[in-house]
Amino acid sequence: MKKYLITILIFLVIIIANGFLFNSLFQTEHRKYENSVKNDMQQQTVMLSNTLWYLFNDYMSDISLMTSFLGYINKTPNVDFLKLLYENVKKPEISLLNIAFFDNDGTQQCVYPAKYSASNKLNYSFRKYFREAQKTNKIIVSKALINYRPKKATQEYRSIVFITPIVNSSKEMRGYIVLNLDILSLKKLMRYENKKGDRYISFYLVDTRHDELLCAPQSLRADKLSPANKDLRSFIINFSKGNNVNHSALTKVSGKKIYVASNRLKIANTLLTVVATVPYKETISYTADFSRRISLITVYIGLILFMIAAFVMYNEFIMKKLTNKISRLEIIIDEKTKEQETKNIVQSEYFKELKDKVKLIKE
């Protein structure tokens, strides 16, 4: 009995140790996978941020070069010049809606393409970007704006405005060149929901300076958002304002775990942040599969150990039965031997003679 208890105890210790070992392996693998997801997301946000930075800076470099040229020749641009400028600076990745010329008072004098000419003679001095450009004499990037159309004469659009002053060699202000970049054109570049392996990464572009979500999947751009989407929208905007320019995390939003990463880029006077998210549940498939494999291995090893223990115990049981049988057989053999010896003595001549003598004595 004592041997059985020791065998069972050893078996339990081995099973428990095996469970702890594989749980440790699972946790290590799980952490590695989580870190790989965060690193992958971080790399993608950096790549996307760099792409946006180069595109925006190309626009700023082109417009600065043109305004410097206009200042050098001390010339006021006309529609033909704006057309030339438009054809040379436009880029397929970020659509350039139009290029306009404002005078020193903020009144639009001309614009290209011609379909936007209904906005000529409108005064934009009330716009914050114009006042900042007027004050600093530097290139200014606006927040996302809906175009000014008091008479509804032009089609509505949402854009980011780049404005830069034209200053001649005598330091005199000659007006402003204004670019309107289409925010919706960023959709293809942002790849709102990009499949990466077995999971979807959602991308967002946040105007960190103005706490505004510029680009996001349709679920976060609806007029009426669900409570969960409202929380996610607020979280993304707040996450973009973190102290770290480039960081990632695994966190919870509305009770659901998500991976999130961000990368910030500075464009002139404004700050834009690219944020990426992946629902945690979409990454569980890998770790769940790994967990199942670990569980199967643990069960398999446990069954092997159980069979070994059962075999040992069965051998002990058989050996005990054999020992008992051998002992009983020895007793039987001993009794049989005595019986046979007695029979031999009774049948012997000597015993017969003794028997006859006893009989004679009795008579």
Calpha distance 221→237 (Å, rounded): 13
Q: Which residues of 135-174 are buried (b: 16+ CB within 10 A; e: fewer)?
A: eeeebbbbebbebeeeeeebeebebbbbbbbbbeeeeeeb
Give the number of C-alpha atoms closer than 13 A to the C-alpha of residue 116, restricted to the C-beta side: 22
Residue 229 lies in a domain: no
Ranking 40-44, 65-69, 94-98, 301-305 by mean pLDDT, the lowest is 301-305
Give the number of C-alpha atoms closer than 13 A to the C-alpha of residue 322, restricted to the C-beta side: 6
Residue 61 lies in a domain: yes
CATH number of the structural domain spanning residue 118: 3.30.450.20
The amino acid at residue 155 is Q
Say how far residue 198 (Cα) sits from the centre of its chain. 11
Residue 352 lies in a domain: no
Residue 63 lies in a domain: yes
Type and span of the H or E element at 276: strand 270-279
Whole-number pLDDT of residue 293:
65
Q: How confident is the model at residue 198 (pLDDT cuts 50, 70, 90)?
A: very low
Q: What is the DSSP string of 153-210?
A: -S---EEEEEEEEEE-TTS-EEEEEEEEEESTTHHHHHTSEEEETTEEEEEEEEETTT
Residue 329 lies in a domain: no
Structural domain for 104, as ranges: 57-182
Residue 51 lies in a domain: no
- Confidence check: pLDDT of 157 > 50: yes
End-to-end CA distance of the chain: 65
Mean residue pLDDT of the chain comes to: 78
Query: Tokens 């400028």 — which residue?
Result: 85
Number of domains observed in the structure of the chain: 1
Residues 220-230: tens digit of each pLDDT = 766 667 787 88
Residue 291: Cβ-neighbour burial (10 angstroms; 0-12, 13-18, 19+)? middle
Ranking 26-30, 79-83, 332-336 by mean pLDDT, the lowest is 332-336
Residue 86 lies in a domain: yes
Using a pLDDT cut of 70, give the percent of the chain over it: 66
Answer whether 285's CB lies under 8 Å from 33's CB: no
- Confidence check: pLDDT of 45 > 80: yes
> Which residues lie below 8 Å from residue 134, measured CB to CB, with a gap of 6+?
106, 165
For the beta carbon of residue 111, count every other beta carbon within 10 angstroms: 24
Residue 159 lies in a domain: yes
The amino acid at residue 56 is F
Residues 107-138: tens digit of each pLDDT = 999 999 999 998 999 999 999 999 999 999 99
